[in-house]
């Protein structure tokens, strides 16, 4: 995705979550550069090897994030646990909701 101020393209490794027929990007480190860039542009590119897929995004509300964060933690807990303050996939909805604002989450949508 392009930089929110410079417009220059940036590359950031991110785990793509497939959940309930949708795809999501979760920021484990909070409101970093890629989050600000995606909010500003509304679009980005997913790259895997030589495959490139342009996408548009929709940011989830904190309430929408609860099941997505649970699925993300279930899939990636071994890699991301230090960034979730002792919250895991088995945590209650209230505990996950309490940290939701710290983890911007975007649905990956096809280009219109």
Contacts 24+ apart (CB under 8 A), 1-4: 1/34, 1/37, 1/38, 1/41, 1/43, 1/44, 1/45, 2/37, 2/41, 3/33, 3/37, 4/33, 4/36, 4/37, 4/39, 4/40, 4/41
Instruction: Assess if CATH 3.90.1650.10 describes domain 16-110.
Output: no
The tens place of each residue's pLDDT in the chain, 112 residues long, gives 544 455 565 677 789 999 999 999 999 999 999 999 999 999 999 998 899 999 999 999 999 999 999 999 999 999 999 999 899 999 999 999 999 999 999 999 999 7
Domain range annotation of the chain:
16-110
Q: Which positions ≥6 away from 17 have C-beta within 8 Å?
A: 23, 24, 25, 26, 68, 71, 72, 75, 76
Please state the pTM of the whole predicted model. 0.88
């Amino acid at each position: 995705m392009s930089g929110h101020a410079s417009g220059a393209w940036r590359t950031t490794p991110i785990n793509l979550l497939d959940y309930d027929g949708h795809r999501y990007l979760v920021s484990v480190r909070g409101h970093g550069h890629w989050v600000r860039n995606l909010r500003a542009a509304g679009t980005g590119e997913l790259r895997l090897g030589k495959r490139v897929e342009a996408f548009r995004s929709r940011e989830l509300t904190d309430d929408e994030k609860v099941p997505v964060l649970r699925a993300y933690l279930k899939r990636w807990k071994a890699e991301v646990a230090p960034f979730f303050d002792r919250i895991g996939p088995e945590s209650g909805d209230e505990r996950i909701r309490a940290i939701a604002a710290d983890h911007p989450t975007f649905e990956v949508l096809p280009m219109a």
